[in-house]
A and B are shown apart, each in its own frame.
Chain A
Amino acid sequence: MIARFPDRRFAGRVARHAILILTAAFALLPFVWMVSLSLKPPEEIFQADFHLWPTAFHGVENYRVALTAAPMFRFLLNGLLVCTAIFALQLLVCIPCAYALAKLRFRGRDTLFSAVLVGLLLPPQALAIPHFVLLNVFGLLDSYAALILPWVISTFGIFLLRQFFRSIPDEIIHAARLDGLGEFEIIWRIMIPMTTPALAAFGIFSIVAHWNDLFWPLIAVRSAEISTPALGILLFRDDEAGQFLGPLMAGAVIIVAPLLVAFLIAQRRFIDGLAVTTMK
């Protein structure tokens, strides 16, 4: 059937690539543009004719300005610190709770799980005012604690991990109890190793969300020393050096690069992880 219409099939393939290249260009253009500008001297950016690759290479200069005029590495380190702390604390809180909800029998379990489900409904932005007030009362605004504390509890994490823990057969846990493992040892030695893909998915979800978040850092933080990347680039833009497009674009590259590189290295993990976490 298909073999009888080789032309049509060929045309289909060409059409597929034509459309996909177009949409891929739409998706990639900002990245290309960003890198291109980050390598150009100011006068070339404002020139009437446009070249993708700079005629006068000004990349070193631009990146040097970006790195010295603003604490770019500080932003990245802050992002790393805040994201790691948030994720670690989330795991510390979520894992025992999810295990108990999935595998232990105790009075009030179902009520608690309903509460977790209700918690899933609350968008974090809607809690910004009371969180802000709370941190203000304790004098914690403009600190790492302000960036981390509101995110320590993740109803989503509890829900997701509970689903995964439930899929582990009871017999495994019974075997572990007979083998002499205590409950916390069961969590550590059995549940966590058996659900690493789920934990990785949750980790990717959590880290991507908080690395890229602007809303909350904008509220909680004023000083550059503890800014996360998403806020840092804004501070840089509003700074003197940020008025020049070359260094600003270089700064954007530095901010955006870590996650993108991680993504390109572990594509499948990221895509599956983010898809799994939303569909659960």
Chain B
Amino acid sequence: MAEIELRHIEKSYGETAVVKDVSLSIRDGEFLTLVGPSGCGKSTLLRIIAGLEAQDSGEVVVAGRCVDDKRPKERDVAMVFQSYALYPHLSVFDNVALPLRTRRLSFAQRLPFVGRALPGRGGIEKAIRAEVEQAASMLDIAHLLHRKPGQLSGGQRQRVALGRAMVRHPAVFLMDEPLSNLDAKLRVQMRAEIIALHRRLGVTFVYVTHDQAEAMTMSDRVAVMTAGELLQVGQPEQLYRDPQDLRVAEMIGSPKINVVSCDHWMSLGASLPPGVDGNTTHLAFRPEAVGIAAPGDRRLNGVVTSVENLGSDIFLNVALADGCGAVVVRTHPDVSRSEPGRPVGLQIDPACLLQFDGAGMRLRQADQVEAAA
């Protein structure tokens, strides 16, 4: 149906390059999320896919055909916007019906005033009404069809925007931070609904967010962007366990991954773990890869500065000596009861240690290379 292929997409506004040589294949029916800090060019890339923005170079291929010379409405894509972009002067019904009307009614039938009276319009309108009502009942907004968007809550507007996008059965769904204007509880609920919608429609979803938790929980695959560059594409757990780039490692996962430079490591008197490559400048490890032990001679030692008890887990913030940074440790409530001020030693699982060189690129040990292959 509709796999999407981006080939060497570049885009700049004036002097500033916003998208830098991005190539990406999105499979048919896949839920792919673009994640990255705000301002990194995600929306721009999405608008390029939609045809709302012209790339400076490179091409967009949908279902095997280059769509660069197609206008947005000819690309068979639908988009849900951050602000929902509902037409405030139209009722919910008219908002959802608009894309069908523009496609099915002829030019003459769409003319102001006279169009209404032309033959054939009644039958088309009837079919449109049925489809709009079907989409509305699927999204649970059937009772709102006569209202104006201004009279709806944030969550309801969100559903109307979804309805407007899905009513014409596009091959590709583009979503630009659709949940960022909702409150936390509704956001979690809508996440589940969008996943369910994806499953039911079975079409390609390209979803943009700056929230890594959203990306991790919703997607088949995640593409990580920073400053216009595509850093890595992979399944969520792959990005979490096996990041290619220090920036990816730092962006994915909450709390953030712990990063300690080799210099600090050694200045603190700890011995580098076995098998660390000579080019490695930074070592990184997840909070769950660290255990608390007694302060010891050849290991990283620090002092607990604060304790965050989430009930299921406890996170300890441990300050390393001499201002060499801090480390977050996840422990189980049963295991340890630490209080601020206590000196501790850190016991790091060497198998979970990630090594990065000066450019932030991942260095793999021999066994990890084998495992990855």
Are A and B in contact, CB atoms below 8 Å, in the complex?
Answer: yes
Tell me the A residues contacting B by CB distance below 8 Å. 169, 171-172, 174-181, 185, 188, 190, 193-194
Which of A172, A180, A181, A193 has a CB less than 8 Å from the CB of B85? A172
| Cβ contact within 8 Å between A178 and B73 | yes
CB distance from A12 to the nearest CB of B (A): 41
| Cβ contact within 8 Å between A174 and B73 | no
Which of B72, B87, B103 has a CB less than 8 Å from the CB of A172? B87
Number of A-B contacts (CB under 8 A): 56
Which of A172, A177, A188, A190 has a CB less than 8 Å from the CB of B73? A177
Q: A178-B79, A190-B87, A194-B88 given; name 14 further pairs at CB < 8 Å.
A: A169-B83, A169-B85, A171-B82, A171-B83, A174-B47, A174-B81, A175-B79, A177-B72, A178-B72, A179-B102, A181-B98, A181-B102, A185-B102, A193-B89
Residues on A with C-beta less than 8 A from B72 are 174, 177-178
| Cβ contact within 8 Å between A174 and B103 | no
In the complex, which residue of chain B has the Cβ closest to the Cβ of A192?
B89
Whether a CB of chain A sits under 8 angstroms from the CB of B77 is yes
| Cβ contact within 8 Å between A185 and B110 | yes
Whether a CB of chain A sits under 8 angstroms from the CB of B201 is no
Whether a CB of chain A sits under 8 angstroms from the CB of B50 is yes
| Cβ contact within 8 Å between A178 and B50 | yes
CB distance from A271 to the nearest CB of B (A): 24
Residues on A with C-beta less than 8 A from B88 are 194
Which of A174, A188, A194 has a CB less than 8 Å from the CB of B112? A188
Which of B81, B98, B164 has a CB less than 8 Å from the CB of A171? B81
In the complex, which residue of chain B has the Cβ closest to the Cβ of A168?
B88
Whether a CB of chain A sits under 8 angstroms from the CB of B78 is yes
**How far, in whole Å, are A175 and B78 apart by their CA atoms in the complex?**
9
CB distance from A133 to the nearest CB of B (A): 39
**30 A-B pairs with C-beta separation under 8 A:** A169-B83, A169-B85, A171-B81, A171-B82, A172-B85, A172-B87, A174-B47, A174-B52, A174-B79, A174-B81, A175-B85, A175-B86, A175-B87, A175-B164, A177-B71, A177-B72, A178-B72, A178-B79, A179-B98, A179-B164, A180-B73, A180-B103, A181-B73, A181-B98, A190-B87, A193-B89, A193-B90, A194-B87, A194-B88, A194-B89
8 closest pairs, A vs B, by CB? A180-B102, A180-B73, A175-B85, A171-B85, A193-B89, A179-B99, A171-B81, A177-B72
In the complex, which residue of chain B has the Cβ closest to the Cβ of A181?
B102
Residues on B with C-beta less than 8 A from A181 are 73, 98, 102
In the complex, which residue of chain A has the Cβ closest to the Cβ of B161?
A175
Q: Mark B100-113, 1 if CB is under 8 A from A, else 0.
A: 00110000001010
Task: Report the interface size class on chain B.
Answer: 20 to 34
**How far, in whole Å, are A194 and B82 apart by their CA atoms in the complex?**
19
Find residues 167-204 in chain B having any chain A CB closer than 8 Å to their own CB. Answer: none
| Cβ contact within 8 Å between B102 and A178 | no
**How far, in whole Å, are A180 and B103 apart by their CA atoms in the complex?**
7
Residues on B with C-beta less than 8 A from A188 are 112
CB distance from A116 to the nearest CB of B (A): 23
**How far, in whole Å, are A169 and B112 apart by their CA atoms in the complex?**
24
In the complex, which residue of chain B has the Cβ closest to the Cβ of A169?
B83
Residues on A with C-beta less than 8 A from B85 are 169, 171-172, 174-175
Residues on A with C-beta less than 8 A from B81 are 171, 174-175
CB distance from B82 to the nearest CB of A (A): 7
**How far, in whole Å, are A37 and B77 apart by their CA atoms in the complex?**
71
Residues on B with C-beta less than 8 A from A178 are 50, 52, 72-73, 77-79, 99
**How far, in whole Å, are A51 and B78 apart by their CA atoms in the complex?**
75
**How far, in whole Å, are A169 and B85 apart by their CA atoms in the complex?**
8
Q: Mark B321-353, 1 if CB is under 8 A from A, else 0.
A: 000000000000000000000000000000000
Which of A171, A180, A185 has a CB less than 8 Å from the CB of B99? A180
Residues on B with C-beta less than 8 A from A175 are 79, 81, 85-87, 164
**How far, in whole Å, are A98 and B110 apart by their CA atoms in the complex?**
24
CB distance from A195 to the nearest CB of B (A): 10
Q: Mark B8-38, 1 if CB is under 8 A from A, else 0.
A: 0000000000000000000000000000000
**How far, in whole Å, are A175 and B168 apart by their CA atoms in the complex?**
14
**How far, in whole Å, are A180 and B87 apart by their CA atoms in the complex?**
14
Find residues 285-320 in chain B having any chain A CB closer than 8 Å to their own CB. Answer: none
**How far, in whole Å, are A175 and B98 apart by their CA atoms in the complex?**
11
Residues on A with C-beta less than 8 A from B78 are 178
Most interface-central of A174, A176, A194 (chain B CB within 10 A): A174
Most interface-central of B71, B78, B83, B87 (chain A CB within 10 A): B87
Residues on A with C-beta less than 8 A from B79 are 174-175, 178
Find residues 108-126 in chain B having any chain A CB closer than 8 Å to their own CB. Answer: 110, 112
Most interface-central of B86, B89, B90 (chain A CB within 10 A): B89
Most interface-central of A169, A180, A188, A190 (chain B CB within 10 A): A180
CB distance from B250 to the nearest CB of A (A): 30
CB distance from A192 to the nearest CB of B (A): 9
**How far, in whole Å, are A227 and B164 apart by their CA atoms in the complex?**
53
Most interface-central of B81, B82, B85, B89 (chain A CB within 10 A): B85
**How far, in whole Å, are A180 and B106 apart by their CA atoms in the complex?**
12
**How far, in whole Å, are A194 and B89 apart by their CA atoms in the complex?**
6
Most interface-central of A169, A175, A177 (chain B CB within 10 A): A175
Residues on A with C-beta less than 8 A from B83 are 169, 171
